[in-house]
Amino acid sequence: MAYSTQTEDGTVRTGVTGENGDAASGGFVAPFLNPELKWDFRLPLVKSINVSGHKYGLVYPGIGWVAWRSHEDLPQDLIFHVNYLGGDMPTFTLNFSRPGNQVVAQYYNFIRLGRAGYKRAFEQMRDIATHLSSAIESTGHFDLLSRGDTIPAFAVALKDSSNYTVYDLSDKLREHGWQVPAYTMPPKVDDLAVLRIVIREGFSRDMADMLLTDLKAAIAHFESQPGYKPAEQKKSGKAHKIC
């Protein structure tokens, strides 16, 4: 699905979503942290907005929904025609039963937290993200691709990958219980491999400092082994060893 964002100076940025969906992160966060940002149906190129509530909707996995600008934009392939009680009944829904507990959980969060509650939660996550990204940058080993100041997520690339790579760091961090994915950027820039860090609800500043400590330890580990052979860069997406 396509998405577009427009800043105050009129700049329009467009692209194609990946597995996370249009509003899985930015679309859920922007209305609370950057309400002036135009990213939704106010932009003519936006035809649909799909949301994963288990990301920044603050609900456990299993809930998601999608909204289309108009009936004409809804793909006909998604409409099921059912012969019911002697007539044709077109339905846009899943054609099998699913539990409704995730819907209840999402509804509860909307009512319980409200706009003010979500805003406070995202502000806290953003502050932790910018704190951590700045601390990682200050080590001198990384370039920041983003700082976590728009959405509480950011990516970093090693300045020097000749002795070890982000894949090595990802595997070493996993030994300490951290899941920090390493993968290449999209085509045409897929020679750039990054670590991606997403700050979620419940990830405290203390945990951020613990991650930073383990990251520094991982760097020291590989720098103490001048003969170490770096892991090969993989251009097929996220890379993790199977544990």
Q: CATH for 116-223?
A: 3.90.1150.160
- CA diameter of the chain: 76
pLDDT band at 93 (very low <50, low <70, confident <90, very high): low
For range 18-22, the mean pLDDT: 39
Does the pLDDT at position 203 exceed 70? yes
B/e letters for 121-130, b = 16+ CB within 10 Å, e = fewer, are: bbebbbbbbb
For range 98-107, the mean pLDDT: 86
pLDDT band at 228 (very low <50, low <70, confident <90, very high): confident
Where, residue-wise, is CATH 3.90.1150.160 in the chain? 116-223
Does the pLDDT at position 13 exceed 50? no
Answer with the residue of higher pLDDT: 82 or 163. 163
Answer with the residue of higher pLDDT: 73 or 115. 115
Percent of the chain with pLDDT over 70: 78
pLDDT band at 233 (very low <50, low <70, confident <90, very high): low
Q: Looking at the whole model, is its pTM more than 0.85?
A: no
Answer with the residue of higher pLDDT: 42 or 180. 180
Weakest mean pLDDT among 8-17, 31-40, 86-95: 8-17
Does the pLDDT at position 206 exceed 50? yes
pLDDT band at 64 (very low <50, low <70, confident <90, very high): confident
Residues 6+ apart with CB under 8 A from 51: 21, 22, 23, 24, 27, 28, 57, 64, 65, 66
Give, for 123, the enclosing helix (H) or strand (E): helix 101-137
pLDDT band at 158 (very low <50, low <70, confident <90, very high): very high
